[in-house]
Structure 1
Amino acid sequence: MENLLKGFDPIAGSDARALVLGSMPSVASLTAGEYYAHPRNHFWPLMAALYGTPADAPYAERAAALRQAGVAVWDVLAACRREGSLDSAIDPASMQINDFPAFFAAHPQLRHVFFNGTTAETVFRRWVLRRLDGLELNLVRLPSTSPAHAGQTFRQKLAAWKCLASVTQISANN
């Protein structure tokens, strides 16, 4: 098995109101040093549809647009061993969880967590939630944006992901 893979720092402004959590960056993302870098991943096209910044804009612009919208992006895992990019290939014994108590302490307005797929939700509920000392969070699993998750069309995924924009827009107006 390969060496330990290390994830990225979060994309997050201090006023983040919603957190999108993946499991661990793909090989394409790790190579590019950017979240959701695989060309067939639907994440950035979905964010473009929700927030207006083109999916092909420079990465720094896309990240800044999410911060401005109150959206944070991170992964549940800080590090792991995995061959390839599939979540099913993650070695469970190698999983290192990100420091969520510190993250939520630094982002006190954050109350909505959206999981980009099942693995992120499963690991978060099993290893993170109990460490958050009763913090009240709205947890929502969304369809994975991964090209490996081809069971839904882009349009179907967009319909599900619209709840992210509605939460950040409502929160921004309060």
Structure 2
Amino acid sequence: MSDLCAPSLAPVPAPAPVRWQGLPPVASEKTVVLVLGSFPGAASLRAQQYYAHPQNHFWKILQALWPQHPLPAAGPEHYLQRCDWLLARGLGLWDVYASCEREGSLDTSIRNPLVNDFARLLGRCPRLAAVAHNGAESFRHAPAVQASLAAQHRPPLQAVRLPSTSPANASWSFDRKLAAWAAVLSAHRLL
């Protein structure tokens, strides 16, 4: 057998992990509660829209909480209208991580994350009263988020852990998630 046909025993280097960039914040002077996810899933990154996965309960929960205000349709042509709809109700959106390495969409696959700069967001949100963490991975960073906001915000912002709206959170029914989200929004007079 010639050397050209002999099997190579040298290890093949693994491809470098892909570093994903998150989405910009959706926030304004009307934002009272900032909803923080961990990092957008693959469907959201492809669409460049928060909570784009059709099985995610985020938009369905909010429509159920505000039935008198019809949610604009899903799809890229209506995403900015959805963001405006959200902002008009006092909610903002962002994620804990600005970027990370990850395969797939699960939080457990996140590697080498870089946390967003929350202090720079306060200037855009003078009415901000609470940070609602959408799931356990986001809430794990609540102390760091609070610390970055505390230097510029008086009184301290409330940090709340909400059940994740992700389809991976199958242990919570839609109705149970809805009740938890309703309690937080009601406490901040957004219902």
Normalization by structure 2: what TM-score?
0.81
- Among 17, 23, 39, the residue aligned to 1:8: 23
Change in 2 beyond 3 A, CA 1:162/1:171: closer
Paired residues of 1:12 and 1:72 also in contact (CA < 8 A): yes
Residue correspondences, number: 168
Which structure has more helix as a fraction of its residues? 1
C-alpha displacement of 1:55: 6.7
C-alpha displacement of 1:22: 0.1
**Alignment of 1:107 onto 2:125:** yes
**Alignment of 1:163 onto 2:163:** no
1:154 match: 174
C-alpha displacement of 1:83: 1.1
Change in 2 beyond 3 A, CA 1:132/1:39: same
Paired residues of 2:71 and 2:85 also in contact (CA < 8 A): no
Q: Which moved more, 1:99-108 or 1:53-62?
A: 53-62
1:7-46 matched pairs, under 5 angstroms:
7-46=22-61
1:130-141 matched pairs, under 5 angstroms:
130-134=147-151, 135=153, 136-141=156-161
Tell me, which stretches of 5 or more residues in structure 1 are unaligned? none
C-alpha displacement of 1:5: 0.5
RMSD: 1.8
Max radius of gyration: which structure?
Answer: 2
Identity %: 41
- Among 73, 78, 85, the residue aligned to 1:65: 85
Q: Which moved more, 1:69-78 or 1:105-114?
A: 105-114
Three-state SS of the structure 2 residue aligned to 1:53 is coil
Tell me, which stretches of 5 or more residues in structure 2 are unaligned? 1-15
Normalization by structure 1: what TM-score?
0.89
1:118 match: 136
Name the amino acid aligned to 1:86. L
